Amino acid sequence: MARRASRQSSAVSTTPPAHRQLRAVAYTRVSTGPQAEADLSLPDQRNQIAEWCLANDHVLVGEYEERGASATSEKGRPQLAALLERACDGSRPFDLIVVHSFSRFFRNNFLFEGVRRRLKKHDVRVVLMTQPFTEEDSAHVLARNIFGLFDKYQSQENSKHVLRSMKENARQGYWNGSMPPFGYRTIETEQKGKRLKKILAIDPVEAELVRLIYRLIGEGDGRSGPLGVKSVCNWLNERGHVTRTGARWGIGPLHDILTRPLYAGTYQFNRREAKTRQLKAQAEVIESTAPVIVTPDLYQAVQDPLRSRRPSEAPPREVTVPILLTGIAKWAACGGGMTLRTGTSSTGRVYRYYTCSPAMRMGKRTCPGTNIAMTKLDDLVTTALVGRLLTTDRVQEILSGLVARRQSRVGPAQARIQALATEEAEAEVRLKRLYASIEAGVADLSD
């Protein structure tokens, strides 16, 4: 009986464990919008991943589809961000992330390794369907790194050739990009190969508003002298003028219109690095012509006062009084910060007061705002601080703390001075004894 039970136990122990189906999600990606619109690559990736999961007895439980996003970084890829957040939220909703190939997931080996290790901590594995590498095999790891470096090189080469084509496109007077600046629209002129060539054309309604903005900066509205950028924002918002998207005007969009040479007929392409926004060398910039909305003379007349008020060009104004609450005080009605403004009366007296920053920048429609004299608000705040902080008990506590900190620094020095004084006194006593011994002939001076 014991031998039979032993045989049965042995038979049970050698039975292979039941196969567990792994849960997989698909990640598909194309680099550009036209690729997504063609509706060829994404369905092909999706179908191949589904067939692969079926052949390997995996369950496809979801899909993340990235339409028109670069694989050189994690930025600008909302589907990838959602996928990684779901994979690392602790619930472990799937076991595998299946991608068609390395280039569909990343074209940067360093970023890929970081994401792969992050997923590994949550027991989620990335499977490259057409490049089946294993993490245990050192040769496979080496091959994967080589593929990653090659994909990155290929991406950089593609970028270089695309930029070369876009520069030539700009030289020929065509528009690179989809959204034209405010005041312009694009029209299709001809088709070369598979691409439609576009040029800039003036939008009559928006262009008239651009001319108005330049007139307000250069001449004013007829009731005052030339206006500043903030004053023009207020003027436009108070009269119901809006941007192309229906938003109120702000300093940034308005300043962009006022500093673009495009409106005076000169279109500059490739001025800045796409990622770092650093200015490129002048030799890399391509200049082309564009329809003129404002005359070159008016454009230049506006640039001079803007440049004179630019902080990087002009020294900061001398402030004769301390500004206590700028950047700290907020207006309760809208939650916006309070900023300092100055005014001059007819007698020449200068008034300083705090005002609501959103109301000042975007007009009264944004917030009714308020003005509070600087001395009044400063006195209210300082009086409240004195009443709460500078009480007798509080001052005594502060002074006690200062004395304690001073004592903690002075104490060791005093102890060291006392020790040195004691050593000096002992040395004096020994010297006196030595001199007395020499005088008495007990000790020799040479000794």
What is the reported pLDDT for 312? 52
Residue 172 lies in a domain: no
The answer to whether residues 395 and 362 belong to one domain is no
**Cβ contacts of 404 within 8 Å, gap of 6 or more:** none
What is the reported pLDDT for 7? 47
Residue 14, pLDDT > 60, answer: no
Q: Within a 10 A sphere around the Cβ of 200, how many other Cβ atoms?
A: 22
The answer to whether residues 147 and 237 belong to one domain is no
Q: For strand 96-99 and strand 184-192, is the pairing parallel, antiparallel, or unpaired? A: unpaired
Q: What is the mean pLDDT of residues 379-398?
A: 84
HEC per residue, the chain: CHHHHHHHHHHHHCCCCCCCCCEEEEEEEECCHHHHHHCCHHHHHHHHHHHHHHHCCCEEEEEEEEECCCCCCCCCCHHHHHHHHHHCCCCCCCCEEEECCHHHHCCCHHHHHHHHHHHHCCCCEEEECCCCCCCCCHHHHHHHHHHHHHHHHHHHHHHHHHHHHHHHHHHCCCCCCCCCCCCEEEEEEEEECCEEEEEEEECHHHHHHHHHHHHHHHCCCCCCCCCCHHHHHHHHHHCCCCCCCCCCCCHHHHHHHHCCHHHHCEEEECCECCCCCCECCHHHCEEEECCCCCCHHHHHHHHHHHHHCCCCCCCCCCCCCCCCCCCCCECCCCCCEEEEEEEECCCCCEEEEEEEHHHHHHCCCCCCCCEEEHHHHHHHHHHHHHHHHCCHHHHHHHHHHHHHHHHHHHHHHHHHHHHHHHHHHHHHHHHHHHHHHHHHCCCCCCC
The answer to whether residues 147 and 221 belong to one domain is no
Residue 328 lies in a domain: no
Residue 92, pLDDT > 50, answer: yes
Task: Provide the pLDDT confidence category of residue 237 given band limits of 50, 70 and 90.
Answer: very high
Residue 265 lies in a domain: yes
The answer to whether residues 398 and 374 belong to one domain is no
Task: Provide the pLDDT confidence category of residue 322 given band limits of 50, 70 and 90.
Answer: low
When comparing pLDDT for 14 and 140, which is higher?
Answer: 140
pLDDT digits (tens, 9 = 90+) for 102-122: 778 877 777 777 888 888 888
For residue 97, the enclosing domain spans 21-158
Paired strand residues for 24: 60, 96
Distance CA 4, CA 276 (A): 76
Distance CA 338, CA 331 (A): 6
- Which of 290, 308, 326 represents a domain boundary (last residue)? 308
The answer to whether residues 53 and 132 belong to one domain is yes
The answer to whether residues 357 and 289 belong to one domain is no
Say if CB 350 and CB 370 are below 8 A apart.
no
The CA distances from residue 342 to 71, 349, 351, in Å, are 51, 10, 6
Q: Which amino acid is at 171?
A: R
**Cβ contacts of 275 within 8 Å, gap of 6 or more:** none
The answer to whether residues 374 and 396 belong to one domain is no
Q: Residue 210: which of 266, 261, 258, 265 has the closest Cα? A: 258
- Which of 287, 308, 329 represents a domain boundary (last residue)? 308
Residue 165 lies in a domain: no
The answer to whether residues 152 and 29 belong to one domain is yes
Distance CA 208, CA 202 (A): 10
The answer to whether residues 284 and 360 belong to one domain is no
The answer to whether residues 33 and 104 belong to one domain is yes
Q: Number of folded domains in the chain? A: 4
Distance CA 185, CA 179 (A): 8
Backbone angles phi, psi at 60, to 5 degrees: -85, 110
Burial class (CB in 10 A: 0-12, 13-18, 19+), 310: exposed
- Which of 267, 288, 308 represents a domain boundary (last residue)? 308
Residue 141 sits in a domain whose CATH number is 3.40.50.1390
What is the reported pLDDT for 37? 60
The answer to whether residues 51 and 152 belong to one domain is yes
Task: Provide the pLDDT confidence category of residue 59 given band limits of 50, 70 and 90.
Answer: very high
Residue 346 has which token pair? 């007819």
Say if CB 359 and CB 369 are below 8 A apart.
yes
Residue 405 lies in a domain: yes
Q: Within a 10 A sphere around the Cβ of 49, how many other Cβ atoms?
A: 24
Q: Residue 262: which of 233, 232, 231, 286 has the closest Cα? A: 286
pTM of the full predicted structure? 0.48
Mean pLDDT of the chain: 80
Residue 426, pLDDT > 80, answer: yes
Q: Residue 247: which of 194, 344, 182 has the closest Cα? A: 182
> How far does CA 436 lie from the centroid of its chain?
82
Q: What is the mean pLDDT of residues 172-182?
A: 84
Residue 302, pLDDT > 80, answer: yes
Distance CA 101, CA 97 (A): 12
Residue 154 lies in a domain: yes
Residue 14 lies in a domain: no
The answer to whether residues 407 and 376 belong to one domain is no
Q: What is the mean pLDDT of residues 175-198?
A: 83
When comparing pLDDT for 276 and 262, which is higher?
Answer: 262
Residue 9 lies in a domain: no
